[in-house]
């Protein structure tokens, strides 16, 4: 027997009006095997995330980062979209979701079929040279690192959302990093925003514009602990735009929310997407058709 949630009913009613902008966080990707920082799956992390200042200023820290990331990248690269990612794409196909802003660096929204995704913190599958500014594929760098470190293996005790792993310092002593192959000297960095680094202003402005034009801001899988994401919730609330939050556990945005749903996203979002079907009219345009005679849909059952 499933559990009928009054909160999910309120959420469904809000989403049914369309004009939804999604703000997603690491909690949406945990069911794809990528742990988050602050939830239960991220609780075992034994070292702090790399900061931009340390990465740029300390060659030994960069070596530790690339050794750990070299092993952790396999997990991130092998991850596939889960039911939550696919449900967001379905809601977008149905014309209900206008855009997606994600704090994640795993690329899973795009892989699930969502379009026009703004990756606030960049993508882990891309690399940039801090010297010449040229970008490259992470797979290209991975191959170069493999050639520079034949047979490098170590026991991995945990993988983190940024592709970093927990690895003993002695295990990375012999790891060799590589510089940019284009300018022969530039420091290579994953094209993601590290802690202590600023998100490009133009990207932030684009996200604010999306939020300000929304009818509903739907937060998925983010504790909103970091201001980088929470500022969009604050802006929406200040403009009178409803905020809905689906997350396992409390968030720092709950006080701004019209409704909060504390439940697994992989269960809630597919049920929500099932409420609306994507159809094409005579002009071939996609539209949303509520499932149910009441024009909003029958009771939402999660179970």
Work out the percent of the chain whose per-residue pLDDT is above 70.
82
Query: Model confidence over 91-105: pLDDT tens digits?
Result: 999 999 999 999 999
Distance CA 70, CA 74 (A): 8
CATH code of residue 112: 3.40.50.1220
249 assigned to a ligand binding site: yes
Question: Mean per-residue pLDDT for 155-179?
Answer: 74
The three-state secondary structure class of 47 is coil
The answer on whether 76 is annotated among ligand-binding residues is: no
Highest-confidence segment of 60-74, 128-142, 264-278: 128-142
Phi, then psi, of 73 in degrees rounded to 5: -55, -30
- Residue spans of alpha helices (H) in 32-189: 52-57, 59-78, 83-93, 108-112, 138-148
- pLDDT score for 164: 65
In the prediction, which pLDDT does 85 show?
97
More confident residue, 247 or 152: 247
- Band (pLDDT 50/70/90 cuts) for residue 289 is very low
pLDDT digits (tens, 9 = 90+) for 220-261: 999 999 999 999 999 999 999 999 999 999 999 999 999 999
Annotated active-site residue in 85, 109, 121, 142: 121
| Residue 82 assigned ligand-binding role | no
Whether residue 285 is annotated as binding a ligand: the answer is no
Those residues whose C-beta lies under 8 Å from the C-beta of residue 40, and which sit 6 or more positions away, are 248
Annotated binding-site residue? 222: yes
pTM of the model: 0.86
Range of the domain at 279: 3-302
Count of the separate structural domains present in the chain = 1
The band of 205, judged by pLDDT with boundaries at 50, 70 and 90, is very high
What is the rounded average pLDDT for all residues in the chain? 85
Is the Cα torsion angle 235, 238, 241, 243 positive or negative in sign? positive
Q: Confidence class of residue 163 from pLDDT cuts 50, 70 and 90?
A: low
Sign of CA dihedral 256, 262, 266, 272: negative
Question: What is the SS3 assignment for 172?
Answer: helix
DSSP state of 44: T
Please provide the DSSP assignment of 219-253 as one string. Answer: EES----SHHHHHHHHHHHHTT--EEEE-SS--TT
The pLDDT of residue 158 is 61
Give the model's confidence band at 174: pLDDT under 50 very low, under 70 low, under 90 confident, else very high.
Answer: confident
Instruction: Respond yes or no: is residue 47 known to be catalytic.
Output: no
Q: Is 143 annotated as a binding residue?
A: no
Question: What is the predicted pLDDT for the residue at 76?
Answer: 83
């Amino acid at each position: 027997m499933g559990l009928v949630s009054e909160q999910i009913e309120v959420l469904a009613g809000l989403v049914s009006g369309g004009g939804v902008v999604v703000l997603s966080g690491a909690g949406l990707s945990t069911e794809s095997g990528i742990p988050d920082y602050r939830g239960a799956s991220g609780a075992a992390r034994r070292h702090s995330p790399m900061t931009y200042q340390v990465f740029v200023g300390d060659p030994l820290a960069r070596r530790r980062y690339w050794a750990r990331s070299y092993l952790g990248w396999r997990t991130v690269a092998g991850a596939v979209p889960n039911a939550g990612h696919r449900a967001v794409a379905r809601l977008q196909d149905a014309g209900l979701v206008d855009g997606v802003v994600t704090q994640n660096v795993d690329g899973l929204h795009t892989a699930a079929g969502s379009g026009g995704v703004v990756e606030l913190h960049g993508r882990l599958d891309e690399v940039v040279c801090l010297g010449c500014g040229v970008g490259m594929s992470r797979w290209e760098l991975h191959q170069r690192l493999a050639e520079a470190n034949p047979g490098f293996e170590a026991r991995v005790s945990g993988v983190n959302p940024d592709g970093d792993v927990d690895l003993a310092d002695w295990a990375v002593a012999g790891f060799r990093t590589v510089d940019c192959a284009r300018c022969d000297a530039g420091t290579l960095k994953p094209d993601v925003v590290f802690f202590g680094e600023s998100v490009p202003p133009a990207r932030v402005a684009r996200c604010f514009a999306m939020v300000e034009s929304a009818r509903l801001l739907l937060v998925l899988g983010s504790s909103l602990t970091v201001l980088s994401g929470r500022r969009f919730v604050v802006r929406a609330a200040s403009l009178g735009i409803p905020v809905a939050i689906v997350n396992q556990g409390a968030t720092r945005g709950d006080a701004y929310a019209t409704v909060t749903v504390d439940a697994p996203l992989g269960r809630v979002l597919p049920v929500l997407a099932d409420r609306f079907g994507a159809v094409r009219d005579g002009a071939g345009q996609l539209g949303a058709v509520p499932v149910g005679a009441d024009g909003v849909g029958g009771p939402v059952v999660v179970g």
